[in-house]
Amino acid sequence: MLTPVVDQRWLKEHRREVVLADVRWYSDGRSGREAYEAGHLPGAIFIDLDTQLAGDASAHAGRHPLPEPERFARSMAESGIADGDTVVAYDDAGGVMAARLVWMLRASGHDAALLDGGVSSYEGELERGRVVRDPATFTARPWPIERLASVEEASDRDNLVFDARDRSRYRGEANPLDPRSGHIPGARSLPCRENLTAGGTLMAGDQLRQRFLDAGIEDAGDVIVYCGSGVTACHDLLAIEHVGLGRGRLFVGSWSQYANDPARPAATGDEPG
């Protein structure tokens, strides 16, 4: 299987062999599609996180639950992504949004990777408007239970659980997205955006690997990662796999599911609690 992250040089050498997907999304209400249409990598299609990479939001399931496999397959097929295609996805946020598509494809057995640096590191001329591919055949596959964690498992202090949100949200500072602030008691802070350099590319491999080792990750088979709604946590999971520490599990409902249950305790501050 393709490595979880590829760089611009790799893309240039393999451009004709991949489907490029633009997965820009903003929590402040801006339109990812409008940003895509204003300028995207040549040939890239647009994938909408809310409608194509998530099911119906609810207090029970969270803001971005996984769509049913049939719904995801239909969406990919309509976008022109076929069973045998290799997908390279990007955004303008260091890959923390596009990671959701890459994780979903890889978890269901498809070749996919993040484009390091995304649109911000692309040196060529951007293309405007929309790209439409012919419909394809994409087979529905069940989401693998070995790649997923439940709210009970994420709450179990015997598990190694990490929170991929920014540290301010982990500490319990103002959080307009969810009914409560804080983090799951016992979870450690591992902000996905701290996997990146100031220029928006991944840290060097040896530094990134040491970051995870310092966090206590030696074998990701023991790791569960969550975030606000199961999107940016995928960046941590892909980065951990990229540096050779294995494949962890995603708590998809994440804090948006956990915080909606008032019976579950919340921790605040810098410590796991």
**Residue 254's CATH number:** 3.40.250.10
192 belongs to the catalytic site: no
Q: By three-state DSSP, how is residue 24 classified? A: coil
Over residues 199-214, the mean pLDDT reads: 97
Give the pLDDT confidence score for residue 90 in this predicted structure: 98
Choose the catalytic residue: 227, 233, 250, 252. 227
Say whether both 14 and 107 belong to one domain. yes
Pair 84, 108: CB distance under 8 Å: no
Residues 6+ apart with CB under 8 A from 140: 69, 70, 72, 73, 74
Residues 114 and 151 in one domain: no
Whether 182 and 104 share a structural domain: no
Among residues 58, 88, 121, which one ends one of the domains?
121
How many structural domains comprise the chain? 2
In a domain? residue 267: no
Q: Is residue 197 part of a domain?
A: yes
Domain assignment present for residue 271? The answer is: no
Residue 131 placed within a domain: no
The reported pLDDT for the residue numbered 175 is 77
Domain range enclosing 196 = 145-258
User: Which of the pair, 247 or 177, is modelled with greater confidence?
Assistant: 247
- Contact in structure between 182 and 262 (CB atoms under 8 Å): no
- Please tell me whether residues 107 and 211 are part of one structural domain: no
Place of tokens 């598990």: 159
Contacts of 214 (CB under 8 A, 6+ apart): none
Six token digits for residue 90: 């990007």
- Any idea what DSSP says for residue 90? E
Query: Are 168 and 213 within one domain?
Result: yes
The predicted-structure confidence for 58-100, as pLDDT tens digits, reads as follows 999 999 999 999 999 999 999 999 999 999 999 999 999 999 9
Same-domain check for residues 235 and 153 = yes
What mean pLDDT is predicted for residues 94-110? 98
The pair of three-digit structure tokens given for residue 240, joined into one six-digit string: 């951990």
| pLDDT, tens digit, 9 for 90 and up, residues 156-198 | 999 999 999 999 999 999 778 888 999 999 999 999 999 999 9
Q: Tokens at residue 218, please?
A: 């030696």
Q: Domain boundary at 89, 121, 153, which?
A: 121
Same domain, 84 and 152: no
Global pTM value: 0.97
Could you tell me if 253 and 155 lie in one domain? yes
